[in-house]
Amino acid sequence: MEGEPTLRLRIFNLNCWAIRYLSKRRQQRVRLIGDTLRQEGFDLVLLQEVWSEQDYSELKAKLAGSYPFSHYFRSGVIGSGLCVFSRFPILDTLLYQYSLNGYPYMLQHGDWFCGKSVGLVVMKISGIIFNVYVTHLHAEYCRDKDAYLPHRLVQAWELAQFIRHTSKAADVVLLGGDLNMHPEDVGIRLLRGWTGLQDAFAEAMRFEGCKNGCTLVPDNCFTDKSELLPFPLGIRIDYILYKAISSFTVKCEELKTTTGRAPGTDIPFSDHEAVMATLHIQRQGQPAGATLGTPGESGRSLADVVAEARAEVGAGLQAARQQRYSSGRMAVLALLLLLLQAAAALATLAGLGAEQPFPKLSFCLLAFLALGVLVLATGLHLFHTMEVKMLHGTEDQMWMMLRALQERPSEG
């Protein structure tokens, strides 16, 4: 009922940049994060890039008194890096791994090996069912030539669909994570428009922290300054999003970000700034009637966003088809070379032809080279075939959604 006590929830979200052997001062920073979380006493902690299970175990042991409930999401080769710490019992968990996540041969980026995913934890707090999602989407690396944009859009689409289809029994939906998208990017507009999630930064009654809520800022000593040259103030790619369903309302009382060095130290928690939100959840007198199946924008504006996203996915699909064709052609040429070499070798052994014109060592090396190219090209062909299928499937889904939005009567 109106006037019932308000539930006050404090949330902490951070990309920890804790890559074993690669991240600078990782162990010191993980200990610092644990000490701060224990002192501050948040209700819910959402972390990304905790790549080492040893780091998670140390955090779990340190935070057991303050956050007795936790979960680590495992996926990919080295893990999703996602984990949740909570003061309240976790009733259920679920992990969904995105169907596209970069390229295995782009070793310098490594996103493919992480198994980027979205993790869900279900909690019941003061009789209110919370679906809490934590995720980390594919990094951008180069904004001018973003080769990963189609993959990130597929991830944003799958994230939106996953939230919509798993939240029907929830009262409140929370999403935290490193989305690797600027607030105005098509992916974030698609996610928010299709789910109706609200941005805590945009809705906060009070804000304190980096200008414009930026979470990747030049003042951070761990940040790659070259990536931020076009953005002198920094960029905002880490979010806390929320939505109330049924008869509840959610308001963001306050949002904060860290601003560089952690208190009393000479280093920040991470190369990202943390995002901290204080939310108020209250039951309304009458059911609001809103569900997560109701888009958060008017049909017309959402249709424009979907059309833009579908065009980008379509461009990615064309590029994937070209890569599939190129790798397939390379595999066929390598196979033909191997067959010619085999025919020449058999003819020589049978005494049907002249002696082998090439030295045996060169002949063997050429055969091994052709075999290596065949295996590599075949692997790439299979990978890009799967990429084409995933992009094509997402494009079809977006087309169905776009058609439904266009046929629906205009809202406002």
**What is the gyration radius of the CA atoms in the chain, in angstroms?**
25
Helices 186-195/149-166 angle, 10° precision: 10
What tokens appear for 351 in the block?
Answer: 């005494």
Q: Do β-strands 248-257 and 275-283 pair in parallel, antiparallel, or remain unpaired?
A: antiparallel
User: 249 with 289: CB under 8 angstroms?
Assistant: no
C-alpha 258/C-alpha 322 separation (Å) is 44
**Residues forming the active site:** 272
Is 272 in a helix, a strand, or coil?
coil
Side chain identity at residue 80, one-letter code:
S
> Which two three-digit tokens encode residue 37?
């979380």
Q: How far is residue 230's CA from residue 138's CA, in Å, rounded to a whole number?
A: 20
In the 8-state DSSP scheme, what is residue 146?
-
Taking phi first (over 0 means left), then psi (-120 to 50 degrees means alpha), and beta for anything else, what does residue 295 get? beta
> What is the β-pairing status of strands 238-244 and 69-73?
unpaired
